Structure 1
């Protein structure tokens, strides 16, 4: 049975860097719709203490999601040194599609078909496919790519994760400071070597009471127009859910690969909230009887890139792979984990071994 290896990667980080001074004139409301009667400097500082997000990146006014995805995809294709006409699939992970400057979302045509068009791929057999799966969308797209390759439906696939969350946030919600824009992409290829590439994966979908922990909802300011919908995050519920479920899901995937935590060199976890990420990784190590761990095993970009949803993991992978994250690198034949949790609620994880 063929396996799936990454042969190229790319990313695009928007050039507009947004610091905390950007939010100093904001008016914040609670989830109950009450105006927060505290100085903005205090609100923002508390936010930084919890999330560790000092800066984030926004796309320019004349840019769109597909522009970001195209740039990351083009770089990944060049890095892979392939003919893009040989791609069997383009899988594009996104949750809001082509968002305009007014926050209107658009999935027609699909994001994958838009990026195929921008790449000027002429091959009619290059199939475009969109993955809408919350923040775990890029990881799930990788799992789908691996499934297609194992089923011998494809040999070469472009997997993109791109999002422009700055255009879907409520101006009156403190959580808008979490979200950012960006894109990451990889090219994966079939290999006959079953000992490398994606050697294990798992996905969990809890869509009962957890369904609306992340949702689209009207502004927190009650006298605003109720028609526009914005990303709404119920932070406490997500935090409790993630701590309870994500470490077990990661361990299950590591176990499926017949490995232990000592065999894992890096854990690339979705960058949603630094406090939550630290807690999840700490709990994972406790499942193996470890009370402490080297924090270098779980690299962080959230402090300066914010939460760009589906783009966070492929962006971080590309930065490390190309030596652009100080003190971080991948080992030849090393094992890494990709893992994420997000809207749905959905959780997934992959164990990947480098050739």
Structure 2
């Protein structure tokens, strides 16, 4: 058996995809009692993209993946591993294998990872562990969500927040390691503050044998508790990840957090003493896309030249679980 050799990880490609259909705040006002001013003041969100019926998360995630693979300059057949971070799959048994087939990534093992809004950060750290041992050389990490399937569109507390989208990155093995430090956490005692729970109905099979069947209920969230949790925990976890990386906050070029709420982004930056111009934000145009939000924003920032080679980026995801985590990485390529 070949011995495993420690190697580094670099991010060499990004990609994203969103549905064509867009719902803005003025249109939402026709559905529930709200207003553009009420929504933007509290969340910073102005519009969100929604997946139309008969379209799939698989197709959207595949499109984002193809763009990331093209930027990385590799062939799908060179991929060793595909990780799909999602909480809203087309198939409850997982969608990563379907993406593998659509890409023609015949050599890649593929699996889904469920960690809601922390999913991309958890997926990034998971992929890095496979790569650092030398087990895999080329990894595709995708964050994709179709939250519109699970929103109560009569509940103005939640329906104004969520959107659909996908983002992807390609990670490649290198002598240089761009993942400089990370820290992950979970607190299941606070699970009730943000969940998408299963509601069962009892079904009699025969005699006294019964099973529970049913479906999942719409997203339920205690906004005040989630805000309080995020503003307290996210700065702490970023500081811990920076400590592991041996860096100070002044060395961070960009803060790229889960795009849940502009007020949260601003509050975290303020606690970290980071100026607003270092915040990467696209929440106004997409809303909360859960596991897709970080790679979607990353792809936009890379493609418009905002993020440059060797920039230090502090990533942070937080949400259902409750879970939260941070990763510090240096943007670059094998040739930069």
Match of 1:308 among 281, 284, 289: 289
SS of 1:202 mapped into structure 2? strand
Match of 1:18 among 23, 37, 42: 23
C-alpha distance in 1, partners of 2:297/2:286? Answer: 10
- Matched residue, 1:191: 174
How far does residue 217 in structure 1 lie from its aligned partner after superposition?
5.0
Give RMSD over aligned pairs: 1.7
- Matched residue, 2:192: 212
SS of 2:255 mapped into structure 1? strand
Relative to structure 1, is the Cα distance of residues 86 and 218 closer, same or farther in structure 2, using a 3 angstrom cutoff? closer
How far does residue 227 in structure 1 lie from its aligned partner after superposition?
5.8
SS of 2:188 mapped into structure 1? coil
SS of 2:272 mapped into structure 1? helix
How far does residue 218 in structure 1 lie from its aligned partner after superposition?
8.8
How far does residue 53 in structure 1 lie from its aligned partner after superposition?
0.7
Residues 1:113 and 2:118 aligned together? no
Residues 1:153 and 2:158 aligned together? no
Whether the 8 Å CA contact 1:218–1:230 is kept in 2: the answer is: no
**Residue by residue, what CA displacement relative to the aligned partner does 1:297-353 show, whole Å, maximum 9, x if unpaired?**
111101111111111110111111111xxxx61233221111110100111111101
C-alpha distance in 1, partners of 2:134/2:321? Answer: 30
C-alpha distance in 1, partners of 2:231/2:293? Answer: 19
C-alpha distance in 1, partners of 2:54/2:215? Answer: 24
Match of 1:169 among 151, 176, 183: 151
**Residue by residue, what CA displacement relative to the aligned partner does 1:151-172 show, whole Å, maximum 9, x if unpaired?**
2111110000000111110122
C-alpha distance in 2, partners of 1:121/1:207? Answer: 36
Runs (4 or more) in structure 1 with deviation over 2 Å come to: 24-27, 120-123
> Where in structure 2 are there 5+ consecutive unaligned residues?
1-5, 200-213
**Residue by residue, what CA displacement relative to the aligned partner does 1:73-129 show, whole Å, maximum 9, x if unpaired?**
01111111112112110000001211xxxxxxx323x21101112113333xx1111
**Residue by residue, what CA displacement relative to the aligned partner does 1:182-239 show, whole Å, maximum 9, x if unpaired?**
0000110011124xx111111011112x1121112599xxxxxx96501111111111
